[in-house]
A and B are shown apart, each in its own frame.
Chain A
Amino acid sequence: MVLKMADKVLMKGNEAIAEAAILAGCRHYFGYPITPQTEIAAYMAKRMPKIGGCFLQAESEIAAINMVYGVAATGKRVMTSSSSPGISLKGEGISYLAGADLPSLIVNVQRGGPGLGGIQPSQSDYFQATKGAAHGDFHMLVLAPASVQEMADLTVKGFELADKYRMTAMVLADGTMGQMMEPVSLDYDVKNTVEKPWATTGTNMEREHNIVNSLFLSPEKLEEENFKRYDRYKLIEENETMYEEYMMDDAEICVSAFGIASRVAKNAINEARAMGIKVGLIRPITLWPFPKAPFKKAGEQVKSIISVELSMGQMIEDIRLASECKVPVTLCNRAGGMIPTPEQVLEAIVNANNGGAK
């Protein structure tokens, strides 16, 4: 047997996020422990002091997000992480970050809700992440990894995009992605070259004071800020949308899923293909901006679309909009911390293929 010492290492998704953040130049982490993402904080607690960084376990999620705001205002790469109930607590701070146009990275390793919910994997914060993290007109860039490698890659990407567009990027994972181990290779050519002339780094008596603020009492000025922000969002929609298509070329049935659900869906698609059913997958990688183009195309190509979700059906609304309701879109789901099985998804595919869009 040929033995190859792989350059890859086995890491938990949570650890991969933490290490990737450090590689991306993040030297400030603020958080408060919550299952199933505590390994991120644990990793940072171990590593940050050794590399001259700052790990701080805040007294609450609200404190942590406001510490993120403070460091972000200085232009340094900064992050926090939590799981669903903790992200809700951060809502106010997230809105302030948006209002002040500050770049930051937030990780949500989702668990079942609502309320304190449970600790098992879920995708039921899709609405929150993509549409309503908090008050006011704003978006976050939402990145949805489907492997431990992507947990790392999208963390790096998230920092880069956050800087480029002066906004918060969220890595939206779930308990499975956080807890599982897979081989990862962490080798990045990190771009950390965005100029930040707005950062509050001290004037040296050489320039006017920079002011970072989200308060604009003049409605004319506040409206202008909002319009400027949405011009930027338009650029992001045009340039930063990411998705994966799997076996879509000749597909008559389209399955759509992100994160862990997409991996379950792939198993089912492979089995359905073996049965001769022409089925493929569209996997959104950016949930905001949502990849509308492939769904628009699918609406003209397939008989029906199945949305596989670990929620009561949230992404399905974006799929219906993007496919312009040209074909039926059905839901195949589990919720509350349960995960659909490949068999459940296969049954939905077979049903759809038989024309039985429920």
Chain B
Amino acid sequence: MSTTKFLFAGFGGQGILFSGKFLAYKGLIEDKQVSWLPSYGPEMRGGTASCSVILSDTPVGSPIVSNPDVLVAMNLPSLDKYEDSVVSGGTIFVDSTLVERKVKRTDVNVHYIPATALADKNGMPTLANMIIVGKVLSALEQFNEDGINAALGKVISARHANMLDFNLKALKIGSEN
């Protein structure tokens, strides 16, 4: 596919914008055309957060993703809000720790991963977002460590360099679950 449109959605504080930024950087490093657009409305201030990421082999037109190929839903309101917008044949990733219901659509691929529980179990409670991104990358067959390491180097500032290994571990946990 020459263009993949991602929509990440969840609560503010779950690292939604960060995971989108990581994916965008990975795309940039792999020579793709990329765009990243956050929600910046009042919902950012304590409610739901979302961000649109587009990875493409051709120049990105509109950066707005209204019908994602890939939806990452990290809470129930996000799944409720965006489930119907996913393109037919698209893929939905659900944090099954926080979303108890199943996806209703039957024309999409669905992956359930207890990202929040896995994060807690592995002593990295703030990295459920990267666990689910690991799952996304492995499901889309884009889990290559070189690209991942380079992208992590870009999104994690030198001041937080000690977080790099944790993020890599989180991505791996996601890819294996």
A positions within 8 Å CB-CB of B: 1-6, 8-10, 35-36, 119-120, 175-176, 179-183, 260, 263-264, 266-267, 270, 339, 341-342
Contacts and interface: CB of A to CB of B under 8 A. Distances in A.
Contact of A10 (B28, B40, B63): B28
A143 to B, nearest CB: 20
Given A181-B35, A342-B61, A119 B29 contact: no
Given A4-B29, A180-B35, 20 more contacts: A1-B146, A2-B31, A3-B146, A3-B150, A5-B29, A6-B31, A8-B28, A175-B40, A179-B37, A179-B40, A180-B37, A180-B38, A180-B63, A181-B36, A181-B37, A182-B35, A182-B36, A182-B60, A182-B63, A263-B60
B70 to A, nearest CB: 18
Contact of B30 (A1, A175, A263): A1
B62 interface: yes
Interface size class, chain B: 20 to 34
24 contacts: A1-B147, A3-B150, A5-B150, A10-B154, A35-B40, A119-B40, A119-B41, A119-B42, A179-B37, A179-B40, A180-B36, A180-B63, A181-B24, A181-B35, A182-B34, A182-B35, A182-B63, A260-B62, A263-B60, A264-B61, A264-B64, A339-B64, A341-B66, A342-B62
A13 B61 CA distance: 16
A3 B151 CA distance: 11
A257 to B, nearest CB: 11
B57 to A, nearest CB: 14
A10 B41 contact: no
Interface in B154-170: 154
B174 to A, nearest CB: 20
Q: Is the interface of B mostly helix, strand, loop or mixed?
A: mixed
A10 B25 contact: yes
Closest 6 CB pairs of A and B: A267-B61, A181-B36, A180-B37, A264-B62, A266-B61, A263-B62
Contacts of B40: 35-36, 119, 175, 179
B144 interface: yes
Interface in B50-68: 60-64, 66
A3 B34 CA distance: 16
Contacts of B63: 176, 180, 182, 263
Nearest to B33: A183
B63 to A, nearest CB: 5
A199 to B, nearest CB: 39
A2, A10, A35 — which one has the most chain B CB atoms within 10 A of its CB? A10
A333 to B, nearest CB: 15
A8, A263, A341: most-surrounded residue (chain B CB, <10 A): A263
B135 interface: no
Contacts of A9: 154
A314 to B, nearest CB: 20
B130 to A, nearest CB: 18
A3 B29 contact: yes
A4 B30 CA distance: 7
A183 B151 CA distance: 13
B53 to A, nearest CB: 9
B36 A270 contact: no
Contacts of A175: 40
B172 interface: no
Contacts of B42: 119
A3 B148 CA distance: 11
A346 to B, nearest CB: 12
Contacts of B28: 6, 8, 10, 183
Contact of B61 (A4, A36, A182, A270): A270
B37 A176 contact: yes
B38 A179 contact: yes
Contacts of B33: 183
A10 B21 CA distance: 9
A10 B36 CA distance: 9
Nearest to A36: B40
Contacts of B24: 10, 181
Contacts of B147: 1, 3
Interface in B62-113: 62-64, 66
